[in-house]
């Protein structure tokens, strides 16, 4: 795979994660999504940066689900959102 293909894949993945976060906000589910966005913007994060942090948490949670071959852990995801701007440790 060419480096530009990898960059394109990463960009596509990031766009899909951001789209998922926007959908969560629009649907109000989980409630932690809107609360997290409110908290991050209140402490000075621009909206796009806050959404990027939230997308990183979603990616981490999806990665755990796939690595452990388990269902999506919504309570852990919500807790990780609440912990922002501290990102989840990758070694968990």
In this prediction the pTM is 0.87
More reliable by pLDDT, 33 or 89: 33
Joined together, the tokens standing for residue 6 give: 């990898």
CA-wise closest residue to 57 among 88, 18, 31, 13 = 88
- Residues whose CB falls within 8 Å of the CB of residue 78, separated by 6 or more in sequence, listed in order: 30, 32
Sequence-separated (6 or more) residues with CB below 8 Å from residue 59? 13, 17
pLDDT tens-digit series, residues 9-60: 888 888 999 999 999 999 999 999 999 999 999 999 999 999 999 999 999 9
The residue written with tokens 């070694």 in the block is 91
Q: Averaged over 65-73, what is the pLDDT? A: 95
State the CB neighbour count (10 A cutoff) for residue 50: 22
């Amino acid at each position: 795979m060419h480096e530009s293909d990898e960059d394109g894949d990463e960009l596509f993945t990031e766009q899909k994660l951001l789209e998922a976060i926007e959908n969560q906000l629009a649907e109000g589910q989980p409630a932690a999504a809107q609360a997290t966005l409110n908290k991050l913007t209140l402490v000075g994060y621009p909206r796009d940066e806050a959404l990027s942090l939230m997308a990183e948490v979603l990616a981490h949670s999806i990665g755990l689900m796939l690595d452990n071959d388990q269902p999506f852990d919504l309570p852990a995801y919500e807790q990780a959102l609440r912990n922002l701007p501290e990102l989840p440790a990758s070694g968990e």
